[in-house]
Amino acid sequence: PAAVSRPLGSEADRVAETEFARARIEAWALLPSLLPHAPAPDVNEALRFLLSSLAAADSDLPEAVRLCGAVAVFAAALIRRETGQPPLAPDPCRAHSADFLHMCRGAAVTAAEIAAIDAYLTTVAEHGMNASSYAARVIASTRAGLIWAAIGGFCALTGPLHGGAPGPVLDMLDRIGTADRAEPWLSEAIEQGERLMGFGHRIYRTRDPRADILKAQLAGLPHAAESRAALAEQVESTALRILSARYPDRSLDTNVEFYTALLLDALQIPRAAFTAVFAVGRMAGWTAHALEQERTGRLIRPASRYIGPVPVAA
């Protein structure tokens, strides 16, 4: 069907927010019996456990809506657990992004912070046939069900080459420490064959446009440390220069994960939960891909070709 353009704030948006609010409330009702059994301290493993519980819970909401609401409630509860605090109930009167940040933080959040988390969740919601979305489509093609397809997508996301890189970006900045150490540290890392997290992309042969969207959101955040922002800019410019000189035939530019790390850190999200927050945004994309694949009615079954050594006759 042809795409339909409609303004934000339309009746369809209000209906969607109402359904998302119901989904958050339903997920919250499940939490007391589930959270004590969620694995610790691994946030990703705990989130996978909590999401899998939806398969046994009854609801009259569409499964895609249930998943989008539940992942926000579950991720926020795990973030609170990570910081030694009890979970906070969702507020059905708040918009989805704003309520997620309130459930994470508890304390009052600013309009700039709400705009930043909304921009982040929207920016990462969908990005074509990436590894996790393809994994979700493969599972959906077997008719295993939407919940299992989404969980499969999340499991793929946890790999360090896909959604697991933002945390290591901050680890890298911590190890570098000061702007004057950027050049020697990065040069040595590249000489030793280390992969610089936050640079390079399988699709883009230029700067990841999502990086600039997130970078623009940092300016108005009250907890964005100027010292870390200055260090990040120095590391970014130095890394790009060194990578360009070392690999002139390759395009290794800044990707979305570099500024994801800085943005989520400024929003006071613990780095162990960065991948879980990515999942809060990407859940919409996984479920959309899975639903689309289900409608095709076709099983994904790629062919393969053996390229190993020719067997030697006995």
Mean pLDDT, residues 277-287: 97
CA 35 from chain center: how many Å? 21
Half-sphere exposure of residue 28: CA atoms within 13 angstroms, side-chain side:
17
pLDDT greater than 60 at residue 4: no
- Residues with Cβ within 8 Å of 86's Cβ and at least 6 positions away in sequence, in order, are 80
Tens digit of each residue's pLDDT (9 = 90 or more) over 13-44: 788 889 999 999 999 999 999 999 999 999 99
Regarding the domain with residue range 166-266, which homologous superfamily does it belong to in the CATH classification? Cytochrome P450-Terp, domain 2 (1.10.230.10)
Catalytic residue among 201, 236, 289, 294: 201
Locate the domains of the chain by residue range.
166-266
Catalytic residue among 102, 257, 289, 294: 257
223 given a catalytic annotation: no
Position 202 confidence tier, pLDDT thresholds 50, 70, 90: low
pLDDT for 302 equals: 93
- Give 311's DSSP letter: P
201 given a catalytic annotation: yes
pLDDT for 220 equals: 82
pLDDT for 205 equals: 62
